[in-house]
């Protein structure tokens, strides 16, 4: 059987510049996206902080950060421009189904949603993630433990009413049914994107972004990104671009380029060994108009 024909486009600075909205002089914070981040659990507070800071650094007008009430005092104490609010959680400090009414009430006002960084894992979290997917209408980034929650039930993604962007690393890709060691990694990513009806951003030294038909390949980035927290920053950046009304495939491609390019700046100035995810936050603005 002949292979389907596809052509990959490379991400670059020009693409990012063309996608970002022009900031009018008379604009206000509501013009640049209201994004809702549902992140964090006891022992995994850093994921929530990094994702929120990344969304702000990438230009979001309003960033709402919902965290388990057990870690709310810690997150709120270190908050800046993000709007932090507590959500009901279980005894282990993980979000639970009791938080769904509060989340559902906020969703209609949001331009984009991020679900997953630092959530942890539990049966109730799995139900919560699936419930949010069923009621959300804004573009939704499903990352980290959000992906882990749907991996055993991946076909639920096909019925979502909202655009979904998946951001797996190789381990999460494998849990969703993909083969990270496939001879044709791009074709394998396209296959999973088609199965889930989602945009797939498959992280790696050559990041692949596809909706199952169109493909972008990103070559920015370096081994300094192999540090806990780097993916949380990418997820926050992607949610920010979605909230600024960039289409999901293009938003994912732009986020991948910006994330890797910020890492390359950090590596040039600090070295790959010593750079940390927080260093990317200071360099994202240097890549934006």
Instruction: Report the pLDDT averaged over residues 49-78.
Output: 98
pLDDT computed for residue 197 by the predictor: 97
Task: Give residue-wise pLDDT tens across range 148-205.
Answer: 999 999 999 998 999 999 999 999 999 999 999 999 999 999 999 999 999 999 999 9
Question: Which pLDDT value is given to residue 2?
Answer: 47
Distance of alpha carbon 210 from alpha carbon 117, whole angstroms: 21
pLDDT digits (tens, 9 = 90+) for 2-28: 455 567 899 999 999 999 988 889 988
Strands of the sheet with 199-202, listed across from one edge: 8-10, 215-218, 207-210, 199-202, 164-166, 140-142, 112-115, 34-38, 62-68, 83-87
Q: Mean of the per-residue pLDDT values for the chain?
A: 96
Q: Decide which of 3.20.20.70, 3.40.1190.20, 3.40.50.300, 3.40.50.1950 is the CATH code for 32-283.
A: 3.40.1190.20
Residue 257: closest CA among 289, 202, 217? 217
How much is the average pLDDT of 266-275?
Answer: 98
Percent of the chain with pLDDT over 70: 98
Instruction: Answer for the pair 182, 158: CB distance below 8 angstroms, yes or no.
Output: no
- pLDDT tens digits for range 104-126: 999 999 999 999 999 999 999 99
Please write the tens of the pLDDT for every residue from 272-286.
Answer: 999 999 999 999 999
pLDDT for res 3 = 54
Asked if residue 237 has pLDDT above 80, the reply is yes
The token pair that represents 87 in the structure block: 């959500």
Give pLDDT, residue 149: 97
Predicted pLDDT of residue 7? 79
The pLDDT assigned to 1 comes to 41
Spell out the domain ranges in the chain. Answer: 32-283
Q: Which two tokens stand for residue 22?
A: 């022009």
The pLDDT, as a whole number, for residue 31 is: 86
Question: Looking at the whole model, is its pTM more than 0.95?
Answer: yes
Q: What is the pLDDT of residues 129-152, one digit of tens each?
A: 999 999 999 999 999 999 999 999
């Amino acid at each position: 059987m002949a292979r389907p024909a596809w052509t990959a486009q490379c991400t670059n600075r020009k693409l990012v510049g063309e996608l970002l909205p022009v900031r009018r002089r008379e604009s206000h914070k509501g013009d640049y996206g209201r994004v809702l981040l549902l992140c964090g659990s006891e022992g995994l507070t850093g994921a929530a902080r990094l994702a929120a800071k990344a969304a702000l650094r990438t230009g979001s007008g309003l960033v709402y950060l919902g965290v388990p009430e057990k870690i709310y005092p810690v997150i709120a104490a270190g908050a800046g421009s993000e709007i932090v609010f507590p959500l009901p959680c279980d005894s282990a400090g993980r979000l639970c189904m009791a938080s769904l009414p509060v989340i559902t009430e906020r969703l209609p006002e949001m331009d984009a949603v991020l679900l997953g960084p630092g959530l942890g894992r539990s049966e109730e979290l799995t139900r919560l993630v699936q419930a949010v997917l069923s009621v959300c209408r804004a573009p939704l980034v499903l990352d980290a433990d959000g992906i882990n929650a749907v991996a055993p039930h991946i076909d639920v993604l096909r019925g979502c009413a909202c655009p979904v962007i998946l951001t797996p690393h190789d381990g999460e890709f494998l849990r969703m049914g993909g083969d990270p060691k496939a001879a044709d990694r791009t074709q394998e990513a396209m296959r999973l994107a088609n199965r889930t009806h989602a945009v797939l951003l498959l992280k790696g030294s050559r990041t692949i972004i596809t909706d199952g038909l169109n493909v972008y390949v990103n070559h920015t980035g370096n081994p300094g990104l192999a540090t806990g927290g780097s993916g949380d920053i990418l997820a926050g950046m992607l949610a920010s671009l979605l909230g600024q009304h960039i289409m999901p495939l293009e938003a994912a491609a732009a986020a991948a380029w910006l994330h890797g390019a910020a890492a390359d700046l950090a590596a040039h100035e600090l070295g790959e060994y010593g750079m940390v995810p927080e260093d990317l936050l200071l360099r994202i603005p240097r890549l934006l108009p």
